[in-house]
Amino acid sequence: MLVDGQLFRTVWIPKGEENIVRIIDQRGLPFRFESVDLRTVDEVAVAIRDMWVRGAGCIEATAGYGMWLAACEAAETADFSTAFNRLAEVLRRTRPTAVNLSWALDRQLEVASGALGVSDKVAAVHSVAEEIADEDVAACRSIGEHGLHLFRDISEIKGGSPVNVLTHCNAGWLAFVDHGSATAPIYRAHDAGIPLHVWVGETRPRNQGARLTAWELGKHGVPHTVITDNAGGHLMRTGQVDLVITGTDRTTYTGDVVNKIGTYLKAVAANDCNIPFYVALPSSTFDWSAQDGLAEIPIEERSGNEVSCIEGLCDGEEIMVHLLPQGSPVANPAFDVTPARLVTGLITERGICKANEESILELFPEKKLS
Ligand code: MRU
């Protein structure tokens, strides 16, 4: 996407520079737009674990490129395969919920094992890293095309007055390589001239909505308003929301959606108010082996500091302040599971389907379990 007139992806290999993966460092946003160079697998692991990069597709692509650094490191050892497998496990341990991470690692492990000599393995992993990133961009672009119809339909019913869409967390281009998942239809509809307005849920504790989604939408000129997480239900009940679109970090083949904590409450409210609740995802976010989201998908528990402190700008300086009485215990589950029955539809790169096994497998017949 364009940032102040310049095209950016969230992660890339800078041309002409040796063994570097460059990322947009999301920690500084919206106050600072900066990139950081990662040179080792350990640095990539820190960047994923500590959320310098975050969001399912961005984690996936960073892991894909990280495996290229892993291949370069493994090529310096006496036993490529042992070292490469060990480095993949370093990356796998960083974040448990987004299935895209394992998807990218397993794809790279398979590619390397299929190539013969060490230099062929390194070259194959490099080209698949670029492929993973390019595929993510293409999938998100298609999600935008399919989701555009939802906006057209609602806009027509509303006689051209703005379509009000509510989103949660950041499933924007920063969470992918480009375009985003939940935001792809929004950007596409906005660019097609459909009047729309986005309610951006701030998304405590890390405020990805307030800090990242609002920044992205602002840079693209999309009308939006930031709200507290608790305001969503009220806006829905008072007729100020036409549809909800969120992203997801992992979705079962039966349609249960794991996404940033708070998504479930939005879905419950949307269901109560008869408001369509869509989830946008590339197919790399499906977990083709998980049937029951609540029982089978690990929910990451993050540091309590994310709840007890909040970061912001004060007199031009980025500071962290404490919010709680000293000694109050905190809990910080980072994701929740929205049952398929509360999801109106899934917007994928192949089209929109219902959130159930039959409809999902109709779009992805090659995934049918025998
Ligand atoms: O913890 P994060 O910020 O990596 O969480 C992931 C998310 O950004 C959201 O859950 C998002 O809606 C889905 S990922 C595209």
pLDDT single digits (tens) 93-141: 999 998 999 999 999 999 999 999 999 999 999 999 999 999 999 999 9
Residues carrying an active site annotation = 249
- Burial 205-215, CB ≥16 within 10 A → b, else e: bbbbbbbbbbb
- Residue 221: pLDDT band (50, 70, 90) is very high
Q: Is the CB of 284 under 6 A from ligand 1?
A: no
Q: Is the CB of 47 under 6 A from ligand 1?
A: no
Q: In a mutational test of the pocket of ligand 1, which residue from 173, 213, 260 has the highest number of ligand atoms less than 8 Å from its CB?
A: 260
| Ligand 1: nearest atom to the Cα of 335 | 10
Task: Count the alpha carbons within 13 Å of 247 in the hemisphere toward its beta carbon.
Answer: 37
The percentage of the chain sitting over the pLDDT mark of 70, rounded to a whole number, equals: 100
Q: Is the CB of 208 under 6 A from ligand 1?
A: yes
Nearest to 279 by CA among 354, 364, 357, 187: 354
Question: How confident is the model over 211-222, as a mean pLDDT?
Answer: 97
CA of 131 to the centre of ligand 1 (A): 22
Q: Is the CB of 64 under 6 A from ligand 1?
A: no
In whole angstroms, what is the distance from residue 139 CA to residue 133 CA? 10
Can you give the pLDDT at residue 369?
72
Can you give the pLDDT at residue 98?
86
In whole angstroms, what is the distance from residue 208 CA to residue 247 CA? 12
∠ CA 11-63-171, nearest 5°, is 60
The whole-angstrom distance between residue 356's C-alpha and the CA centroid of its chain comes to: 21
Can you give the pLDDT at residue 17?
87
Q: Does the pLDDT of residue 368 top 90, yes or no?
A: no
* Domains of the chain, first to last: 2-135 (1.20.120.420), 145-367 (3.40.50.10470)
Task: Count the alpha carbons within 13 Å of 70 in the hemisphere toward its beta carbon.
Answer: 29
Can you give the pLDDT at residue 275?
98
Whole-number mean pLDDT of the chain? Answer: 97
Can you give the pLDDT at residue 2?
85
CA of 77 to the centre of ligand 1 (A): 36
> Using CA positions, which residue lies closest to atom 5 of ligand 1?
55
| Ligand 1: nearest atom to the Cα of 175 | 15
Of the two residues 39 and 2, the one the predictor is more confident about is: 39
Question: How confident is the model over 281-301, as a mean pLDDT?
Answer: 97
Nearest to 210 by CA among 188, 225, 221, 220: 225
| Beta pairing class for 21-24 and 11-12 | antiparallel
Can you give the pLDDT at residue 370?
57
Q: Is the CB of 55 under 6 A from ligand 1?
A: yes
